[in-house]
Structures are given as C-alpha cells and as structure tokens.
Amino acid sequence: MRGWRLALVATLLFSCTFGTLFAAGQKESTSVQTTNDGKKILYVAYDRELDLLNPFTSQMLCDPEYNVTEGLIFTNDKNEFIPVLAKEIPTFDNGGIVENADGTYDMTWHLREGVNWSDGVEFTADDVKFTLDFIHNTPDVYNQSEYNHIIDATVVDKYTITFTWDDLYTYYAGLFEAMLPKHILGHLSWAEIASYEPYNRGSEFIGTGPFMFAEWKSGEYIRLVKNPNYWRGDQYPNIDEMVFQFIPDQTARYNAMKSGRYQIGQIEATQVADFNVKGMHVEMIPSNVFYYIDLNVTADTGRPDLFGDVRVRKALYEAIDRQAIVDQLLEGTVQLANSPIPPSSAYHNSNIVAPTYNPEDAKKLLAEAGWTDTNGDGILDKDGVKFSFTFMNRSGRTDRISIAQVVQAQLKQIGIEVTMKEFEAAAWSERWRNSEWDAIVGGWFMSSDISLTNYYHTRDGKNGSNNFTGMSNPELDALMVAADKNLNYAERKPLLDKAQQIIADDVVSIYLYYRDSPWVVADNLENFHGSGTNLGNWWNSYEWDLK
C-alpha cells in the first residue's frame, strides 16, 4: 500500500503547485511607486547590463549613458537627427557644407554657447576635436571607419569646428552622438583612455546631459541623479533619479513590469496581448529593425546551386506565408515588410511590388527552373541534387528560431526540405561572417541615416562589408552608391525607391516584417516619446516627469 500513498501524495503536491497558478486571485492592479522621500525616482526594467559607459568603446547596444553624455546630434522619436550641443546641423543650404577645389568637403559645426560639463567646466570645440582624435586612435570604436573619412579637423574658435571630409557620406550628420571631456581625460594616452576605469565605470564619467552618474552596482543596476546645472535651464530635468535595473530574462522582466515596481521596460511581442495592468499601458514604438531571410549564394560555402536562380528565390518568397507570420505568430504586433527601409523613415517606399504568398505559383516557378520531384520522395530534385538546405540558427534567439520553424514547415509543403542547425552566439557570428551557411533568419537595426550599401552592395573590400550572402547586382550597386553620396532628399528618394524595387525584383533578401518594440510605460510618466532608433528612448528624458 505504501507506494500508492506516496504516488498519491506526489501527484497531489504536483497539482497543488500548478493549482496555485489558477487559485491565486486575479489581483493584477498595481500602485506605481513614484516618489521616495519626496524624490521622483524612475525605475527602469532594463534588459541588459552595459560593459562600460564610454559610448565609443562600448561593444553593446545600450543607451542609459546618453542621459549623461550628449553629442552634437541625437535622434528623436520621428527618426530625425536633431542638434543638441550644436546650434544646427550643417547642410549645403545653410552654408555649413562647402565643396573644396580638390573634391573634399568642409563641414562646419557651430556649437551652442554656455554649455557646461556637469562639473562646471565649459564645453568647447576643443572637446569635439579631442573626441575625434580619440576615435581616430582607438581600434575599439565600432564605427571608427566612418570617422576615418574625416581627414582633417580645425578648431576655428571656441564654438566653431570644421571637419574636412574626403567625400560626401549620408551619415555625416549621424556621428558624434556623445562627447568626451578633454579636461578629464586629456592627460591620458589614447590607449589609457580606452581602459581608464574611472571613466568607463562612472566615477569620472562626466557629461553635459540632464543626469549625472551616481552609482553602478555590477550586475544589478546603474543609478543616475539629476544634473542641477543642466544647460537647458533650472526647470530641467523634472525627475530626480533614474535607476536602470538589469533584468535580462524576458519572462522575469515581464513579471517585473506586472509587479508595478518599475515605470518603464521593454517586453516581448507575444506578451503584449496578456499585459493588462491598471496604471500602465503598452506603447508600440516603431523601430528601425527589419526581419528577413537571407539566402547564401557565395561560391563554395553557400548554395548557389539552389539559390543562384532568381526564379527559385522568387518561389521561396511566394511559398512563405509572411502575413500569417505577422498575424498569428507575432499576434499582429508588427508590420509586414517588403523592403529594408522601415515606414518610420522618409525613404521608405510603400509602392514596392514584392512577391506575395502563392504556393501554386511557387511550384510553377520551381518547375520552370528545373526542380521537380523525379523520384517521388516528396522532395524536389534536379540533376540528382535534392532541394534541401539548412537554416543556421543563433541559439537563444527564440523569435527567429520560431520563424525558421514556420518557414521550414511551409517550404515542406512545396517539396523543399529544410533542416536546422543551432550555434551559440559567438560561433554563429563567426560562421555568418565567413559565409559558411545556407540560409538564416536575421534582424537588422537600420540607422536613421539610411544607407543600403553595407547590406546589399557587392562585397569588394570597400562596400558591402555586411553582405555575407554573396549577392551581387551592378545596377543596384550603382544606385546605392549614388544615394550615399547625395544629400538632397528630393534627388535621393527616387534613387532609394528604385533600389528597394530592384532588391524585391531580384530577391536579394526575403523580407518578413518591421518590428515595433512593445514598451510598458506607467500612465503617470509624462512626455515620454519613445524612439526606435539605435540611440534609444532617452533623447528627451530632461522633460520627462512623474506625476
């Protein structure tokens, strides 16, 4: 008998444990904490921990540091660059950019006067020059090569600096999103600055921004406090403190937001429908992230035998029910994509004609390209080669792995065999860069200064540095390069429009959706206007308020 009792007890305990899930009352209303000792503290449930605060040498896409340090420019919620420490962004029209006789360009920045670092020292053009010199001399800066096109910099006066560019680049106004304080770091060598712990970890991390660094508890949180001498005036910032708590697990972060102890935090698309907490709401922030499937046609390491024929690529595009992925898998929280440029950008082409879901036509196209099931095993073949390829998945990216599985199932319907292989992040990254894969599901952050050359230009050592698919289309190359060198919207837009259509026609990449980032925001947080750019949401944190 004894065993039966044991089995019974175990089952009972087990069901009790699960039972609590239902039994627990539906108490999900919340009282959002706003003040403490009369101080307004903003608690942020943040999804990662920074490696270091210096935004140039940090290797992570993080943004809390932009509350402390400011740059010449920043991005706002409309995906535009706005001047911050500069009076205006130089253009041809306002005379800020002039072409020199030798084909180089001079770009002059006029700095805002009367801006002080938070320790009271004035911010001047010397700091800008110092920042540029640091970038030029430090290989750890992730986008150093963009700055390398500035071949000379002259400090004209305290508030004016002129850069000489070797050519025109679309990102010319998207650089210098932060500034290094020369009076703090000037006595160090460039290599010393990169590893200078007081700056990297905060005690000497001085900026001109609305907040000052206060404390960084390794692995747990970063705390920022109000800068009492902020240059925008005494009324800013409204919030006294910001606490970025590192909560990396997505379900834990979701629980954290539901617990009502945080006023802002990012959640996942599949969690949006279930999030229903009094005093908080979900904001879908359009981001510059697009999801896609890449097919590798690189000789030797890729599968040109399968994907080399545009009819085949088009068939794959038509065989994937992208609308179902958007509506069902992502519960309608994202927008169907036909091009890499998101609708939040002025360069988005909404008139693209891209292949739509049509499995019958897909089969026809494959048959035209010579792919038929000759041996009756349910898988297409041609000249003895099975139409079978492998998705290289990056472990931990559950959203992309889910998509890969859906695509696998959908392609099976038209007789294409897809297998899956998962690699840990760093291993995945290395294989990807070596083009050692068949197909991937990817997601990219498009910067606000749209440029397609990195992704789709033929890889030639100069352009296409992130084109690992081996795709090459000379007509497209010419258009993208022309767009990069043209800073006039009216002239540039048609170039990019045409480029987007060619990408769709040639199926350089199969687009899935543009991601909107769901952020939970407390109702009492005022003036929050989330921005989906890679510089983050904090661009106007000086005017945020907790009521």
Cα separation, 373 vs 242, in Å, equals 62
Min dist. Cβ of residue 98 to other proteins (A): 25
* Position 98 contacts other proteins (CB under 8 A): no
Closest to other proteins by CB, 120 vs 378, is 378
Closest to other proteins by CB, 125 vs 178, is 178
DSSP characters for 24-92?
S----------EETTEEEEEEEES---S-S-TTT--S---GGGGT---SEEE-TTS-EEESSBSS---T
Binding other proteins (rule: CB under 8 A), the pick from 104, 304, 388, 423 is 423
Closest to other proteins by CB, 55 vs 96, is 55
Binding other proteins (rule: CB under 8 A), the pick from 167, 249, 368, 491 is 249
3-state SS, residue 336: strand
DSSP characters for 352-402?
-------HHHHHHHHHHTT-B-SSSSSS-EETTEE-EEEEEEETT-HHHHH
* Position 417 contacts other proteins (CB under 8 A): no
Residues 187-246 that bind other proteins (CB under 8 A): 191, 194-195, 197, 200-201, 217-221, 223, 241, 243, 245-246
Min dist. Cβ of residue 15 to other proteins (A): 9
What is the identity of the amino acid at 64? P
* Position 13 contacts other proteins (CB under 8 A): yes
Residue 54's CB: how many other CB atoms inside 10 A? 25
Residue 198, preceding bond cis, omega within 30 degrees?
no
Min dist. Cβ of residue 197 to other proteins (A): 6
Half-sphere exposure of 467 (CA within 13 A, CB side): 23
Binding other proteins (rule: CB under 8 A), the pick from 98, 151, 229, 248 is 248
Min dist. Cβ of residue 446 to other proteins (A): 10
Cα–Cα distance list, 512 to 11, 330, 333 (Å): 45, 11, 13
Say how many Å lie between the first and final Cα of the chain, rounded.
Answer: 64
Residues 251-270 that bind other proteins (CB under 8 A): 251-252, 254-256, 258-261, 268, 270
Closest to other proteins by CB, 109 vs 246, is 246
* Position 167 contacts other proteins (CB under 8 A): no
Min dist. Cβ of residue 146 to other proteins (A): 5
> What are the tokens at 281?
């709401």
Closest to other proteins by CB, 128 vs 256, is 256
* Position 250 contacts other proteins (CB under 8 A): yes
Min dist. Cβ of residue 140 to other proteins (A): 6
* Position 385 contacts other proteins (CB under 8 A): no
Burial class (CB in 10 A: 0-12, 13-18, 19+), 204: middle
Min dist. Cβ of residue 101 to other proteins (A): 28
Closest to other proteins by CB, 94 vs 251, is 251
- The residue assigned the tokens 């460039």 is 190
Phi, psi of 541 (to 5 degrees): -65, -20
Cα–Cα distance list, 270 to 237, 273, 424 (Å): 34, 7, 24
Cα separation, 481 vs 390, in Å, equals 33
What are the start-end ranges of the H helices in 259-383? 304-307, 310-319, 322-324, 359-368
Per-residue DSSP letter, 270: G
Closest to other proteins by CB, 91 vs 408, is 408
Closest to other proteins by CB, 231 vs 391, is 391
Residue 445, beta-bridge partner list: 289
Min dist. Cβ of residue 318 to other proteins (A): 17
Closest to other proteins by CB, 115 vs 471, is 471
Binding other proteins (rule: CB under 8 A), the pick from 76, 116, 405, 486 is 405
Binding pattern to other proteins, positions 435-474, x when CB under 8 A?
Answer: ------------x------x----------xx--------
Binding other proteins (rule: CB under 8 A), the pick from 63, 127, 318, 321 is 321
The H or E element containing residue 107 is strand 105-110
Query: Of the listed pieces 11-19, 80-88, 228-236, 355-363, which binds other proteins according to CB under 8 A?
Result: 11-19
Closest to other proteins by CB, 194 vs 369, is 194
Min dist. Cβ of residue 280 to other proteins (A): 13
* Position 429 contacts other proteins (CB under 8 A): yes
Q: What share of the chain is helix, strand, coil (3-state, %, to 5)?
A: 30, 25, 45
Residues 18-77 that bind other proteins (CB under 8 A): 18, 20-22, 24-25, 27-28, 30, 36-37, 39, 41, 43, 45, 49, 51-52, 57, 59-61
Number of residues that bind other proteins (CB under 8 A): 109
| CA torsion through residues 476, 478, 482, 485, sign | positive
